[in-house]
Amino acid sequence: MPRRERRKYTPEFKARVMKQVLEEGKSRAQVAKDLDLTCSALEAWVR
């Protein structure tokens, strides 16, 4: 399986993603799926 090209995200994008998880109560897995992110990347941002 080919490796995914590394993507860079702005601090503003990360803040919007974290808001969905922390304030709106969406699951990390659902947000990651909706935005085509890996769960591990999203979890690192939330930590």
pLDDT digits over 9-44, tens only? 999 999 999 999 999 999 999 999 999 999 998 888
Q: Which long-range contacts (CB under 8 A, 24 or more apart) does 35-43 make?
A: 42/17
pLDDT value of residue 1: 73
pLDDT value of residue 27: 92
Rg (C-alpha) for the chain, rounded Å, is: 11
pTM of the model: 0.73
Q: Which long-range contacts (CB under 8 A, 24 or more apart) does 16-21 make?
A: 17/42, 17/45, 18/45, 18/46, 21/46
pLDDT value of residue 26: 92
pLDDT at 46 over 80: no
pLDDT value of residue 7: 85
